[in-house]
């Protein structure tokens, strides 16, 4: 969940509509299985600085009531994510269609992106490309990589390759965002990306990658992503105690 969030309370009729739409559009089980009802258990608004006028953007956690047995220690299936809601239609801003859906939301808003705070757009983009089994951290300088090295797990930690760090440090730049309604907009940033729970798996995890991401947003709000892996050699995994 983004730091740009706060608890959200909607009218009961809106919550019931959202639960029905989630059941219809985002079933927990394959289509041939009957999908049980959803119950929303938590909602947090996405703090957009009042940019969105036609949509509410929010995070939601909902459970599928028919699939769990909490009394036997079997939890209910859970659906979480970032959504856009215009009062009638629900749009997911996570998953394989997230960038396309985000472009549709921006197109319907039809507001120049010069009016959105760069950190708000960055947070929306990061949520849209997030994968359930991977983490992603913005890096702007070598100090961000040095700080990452200090974070360890009970199983081990990442160790910096000083030579590789020296080479990649010359490339790292802060997040940039520019453009206008005539030429479109471009968002560019560097990130460190790796597998979730790397220290919990039995074999040594794959080293995280330093990547550069570019997002071209056309004047019609179509979003195209470019990703380039710059190196996967800046870190190696060291088991604690060795």
Give the pLDDT confidence of 55-85 residue by residue, as tens digits.
999 888 877 655 444 454 444 555 678 889 9
Query: Could you give the count of Cα atoms lying within 13 Å of 220 in the half-sphere of its Cβ?
Result: 3
* Other residues' Cβ atoms within 10 Å of the Cβ of residue 189: 22
Helix, strand, coil share (%) of the chain residues, nearest 5? 25, 35, 40
Please say whether the beta carbons of 115 and 148 come within 8 A.
no
CA distances to 1, 171, 192, 226, 230 from 163, in Å? 35, 14, 17, 27, 14
* Cα–Cα distance, 219 to 39 (Å, whole number): 38
* Mean pLDDT, rounded, of the chain: 81
43: confidence class by pLDDT, cuts 50, 70, 90: confident
The residue-averaged pLDDT of 216-236 equals 94
Give the pLDDT confidence of 97-156 residue by residue, as tens digits.
899 999 999 999 999 999 999 999 999 999 888 876 678 999 999 999 888 887 755 455
Please say whether the beta carbons of 90 and 55 come within 8 A.
no
């Amino acid at each position: 969940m983004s730091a740009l969030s706060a608890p959200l309370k909607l009218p009961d009729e809106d919550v019931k509509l959202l639960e029905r739409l989630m059941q219809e559009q985002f079933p927990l089980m394959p289509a041939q299985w009957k999908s049980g009802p959803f119950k929303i258990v938590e909602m947090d608004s996405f703090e957009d600085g009042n940019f969105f006028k036609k949509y509410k953007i929010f995070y939601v956690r909902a459970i599928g009531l028919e699939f769990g047995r909490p009394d036997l220690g079997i939890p209910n299936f859970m659906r979480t994510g970032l959504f856009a809601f215009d009062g009638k239609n629900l749009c997911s801003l996570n998953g394989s269609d997230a960038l396309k859906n985000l472009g549709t939301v921006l197109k319907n808003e039809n507001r120049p992106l010069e009016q959105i705070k760069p950190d708000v757009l960055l947070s929306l983009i990061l949520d849209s490309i997030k994968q359930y089994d991977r983490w992603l951290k913005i890096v702007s300088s070598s100090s961000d990589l040095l700080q990452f090295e200090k974070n360890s797990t009970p199983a081990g930690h990442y160790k910096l390759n000083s030579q590789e760090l020296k080479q990649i440090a010359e490339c790292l730049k802060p997040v940039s965002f520019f453009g206008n309604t005539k030429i479109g907009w471009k968002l560019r940033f560097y990130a460190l990306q790796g597998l979730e729970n790397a220290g919990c798996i039995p074999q040594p995890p794959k080293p995280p990658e330093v990547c550069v991401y570019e997002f071209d947003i056309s004047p019609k709000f179509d979003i195209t992503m470019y990703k380039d892996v710059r190196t996967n050699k800046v870190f190696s995994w060291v088991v604690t105690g060795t």
